[in-house]
Structure 1
Amino acid sequence: MKIKYITLLLILTVGSAFINAYGTVGDLIEKIIAFITPLLVYIAIIALAAKVKGVKIFSVKFLRYFSVMYVVMTIIENIYPMIIYSDQTLPSNYLTVFFLQLSMNIYIARIISNEHD
């Protein structure tokens, strides 16, 4: 019975990540980034919900690796367009939004990887 729910969850998460990537205008790397990022967000939401409930879903080692990957993907997601479109002018608030997003994701990663809660 659980297989049915897990299958549906996988279809919904991978499907929404695919639709996000499909709708992204850019090169292949930007589409890959647009596919991976929502998947990482879903894992972060699950990890945060597990922390709130006090349930241990993921191993400590996985959460540490995930936290690093979560922050690294945030950096890649924002820096890559800056590099490939360096001949264009950035929107005036691009860096502000990037640093706010990075700060929030670092905070989330610290909460997720903190094993003393």
Structure 2
Amino acid sequence: MTEEYNSARNDGAAKETQEKVGWCRPRRGRVKLNVDGAFHMGACQAGAGAIIQDDMGRMVMARWEPTPAVSSLHAEAWAMKMGLGLLSAGQFVKVESDSEQLVKILRDEGPYPWQIQCIVR
């Protein structure tokens, strides 16, 4: 069944390139925060998740919750805020997000949509 699905999905479609990406550990004695947000327009539902792992890849803390987001970027910003809130003061951390747009905004390299201004201040 999986082969049929993949065959049907790829018939006549542009070929996608896939890059294998693995988890990169933080420096010794530090932690890594991975965040992700998701938004489903049809259902008007969104969620945000965050996980903190130590330099050996062990989970230190994780959290997921539904969010009042109105877009994917909004959900990603909620996830970042939630994840940063899980960290201890003074903790050295490497932060990772799959939202290129949010990363650019946080680095002051991209436009700053009004929908997320109150989240990322």
Q: Tell me: higher relative CO, structure 1 or 2? Use CA pairs within 8 A at least 6 residues apart.
A: 1
Task: Tell me which structure has the larger Cα radius of gyration.
Answer: 2
TM-score in terms of structure 2 length? 0.30
Structure with greater strand percent:
2
Which protein has the bigger helix share?
Answer: 1
After TM superposition, the score normalised by the length of structure 1 is 0.30
